[in-house]
Amino acid sequence: MPSMTKHDILSPVAASDSLNQQVSQIAILGTGLLGASLGLGLRAARFRGSIIGYGRRMATVERAKALGCIDQATTNLAEAVDGCELVVMATPVGVFTSLLERLADCGHPSLVITDVGSTKQQVCSDADRLLPNPTYFIGSHPMAGSERQGPDAAIKDLFDDKSCIMTPSKHTSPAATSLVQQLWGSLGMNVIQMSSAEHDQKVACVSHLPHAIAAMLMRLADQWDATQIASSGFRDTTRLASGDPTVWTDIFKTNRKQVIKAVDALALELQQFRKLLVDHADDNLELQLQQCKKMRDKWALEPEGDE
């Protein structure tokens, strides 16, 4: 599937104009870091419609409202989506299935639904299975975030100049794809399209495995009583281990197969590295480190996402 960047489609301003023409009301389901930042970002991008925030805990939704992230706060899903043209699921991934079940009941048939989840195959297949009209669902993964949590961590330019992966299914309508592209485009995101399967495989490698490794390195350092002498290299390598355990458990649960594949691939790399050490194959080791440095330096020069 061809990828699409914001340069291929509309400028942020044009995307925002188009969004304003089609959408008078957006519901954001979940007002944590991502949901609340989405609200702030939409306002900064001159979205003129209403932004309804929904969550299970009134305190969190009210806090998001007090911070100016949303216009209205509710813990009633039917109320939240009533009158909306667009809904963004911004809860932890593990809540998506039950949200979709309930949206199937209370959403009107042409309500466009997307999400911000870090895994895509499960939510896309749930949408196909559960929604009365799955043509209006398209998965999104805005590659933005931080290890901080909650509406107080929200920032208006969290999404700006980052990548957003959209994963249309064979059912997704061009109209839904276009509308959700305008949503992310208005926030200054670079939109890339791929299948949910390709997405889940790639993020297993560059996001989920690094998270697991960060946690494991932290455990090891603790077991070896070595954190006292750990320094900034260790700090960077283990930063992801400070992420929300519930969010990450959901991610691992919903991308189990691909994460296992990535773990196996890394185990093989570890074996090969160990063999180089045992064999005193130091020239080969240096060559490999050179190749890795080259890849890293080249990649680090490219524009980045942020998560």
- 122-181 binders of a copy of itself (CB under 8 A): 143-144, 162-163, 165
At residue 72, what are phi and psi to the nearest 5 degrees? -130, 145
The nearest distance, CB 183 to a copy of itself, in angstroms, is: 19
Quick one: which of 242, 143, 187 has its CA closest to 16? 187
Pairing of strands 163-167, 139-142: antiparallel
CB hemisphere CA count around 213 (13 angstroms): 20
When asked if residue 95 is in the footprint of a copy of itself (CB under 8 A), the reply is: no
Residue with tokens 């805990």: 57
E-only strand ranges, the chain: 25-29, 50-54, 72-74, 86-89, 112-115, 139-142, 163-167, 190-193
User: By C-beta, is 103 or 247 nearer to a copy of itself?
Assistant: 247
The nearest distance, CB 69 to a copy of itself, in angstroms, is: 22
When asked if residue 197 is in the footprint of a copy of itself (CB under 8 A), the reply is: no
**What is the rounded CA–CA span in Å between residue 36 and residue 243?**
18
Angle formed at CA 244 by CA 149 and CA 155, multiple of 5 degrees: 20
Secondary element (H or E) of residue 157: none
Q: Select the span of 31-39, 69-77, 152-160, 299-307 touching a copy of itself (CB under 8 A).
A: 299-307
User: By C-beta, is 18 or 163 nearer to a copy of itself?
Assistant: 163
**What is the rounded CA–CA span in Å between residue 91 and residue 85?**
19
The nearest distance, CB 38 to a copy of itself, in angstroms, is: 17
User: By C-beta, is 74 or 121 nearer to a copy of itself?
Assistant: 121
Residues 203-242 that bind a copy of itself (CB under 8 A): 203, 205-207, 209-242
At residue 303, what are phi and psi to the nearest 5 degrees? -65, 145
When asked if residue 2 is in the footprint of a copy of itself (CB under 8 A), the reply is: no
User: Do residues 251 and 225 lie in contact, with contact meaning Cβ atoms separated by under 8 Å?
Assistant: no
Secondary element (H or E) of residue 174: helix 174-186
User: By C-beta, is 13 or 281 nearer to a copy of itself?
Assistant: 281
The nearest distance, CB 196 to a copy of itself, in angstroms, is: 13
Residues 253-272 that bind a copy of itself (CB under 8 A): 253, 256, 259-260, 262-267, 269-271
The nearest distance, CB 111 to a copy of itself, in angstroms, is: 28
User: Do residues 121 and 197 lie in contact, with contact meaning Cβ atoms separated by under 8 Å?
Assistant: yes
Q: Select the span of 47-55, 119-127, 152-160, 284-292 touching a copy of itself (CB under 8 A).
A: 284-292
Q: Select the span of 65-73, 129-137, 149-157, 249-257 touching a copy of itself (CB under 8 A).
A: 249-257
User: By C-beta, is 71 or 306 nearer to a copy of itself?
Assistant: 306
When asked if residue 14 is in the footprint of a copy of itself (CB under 8 A), the reply is: no
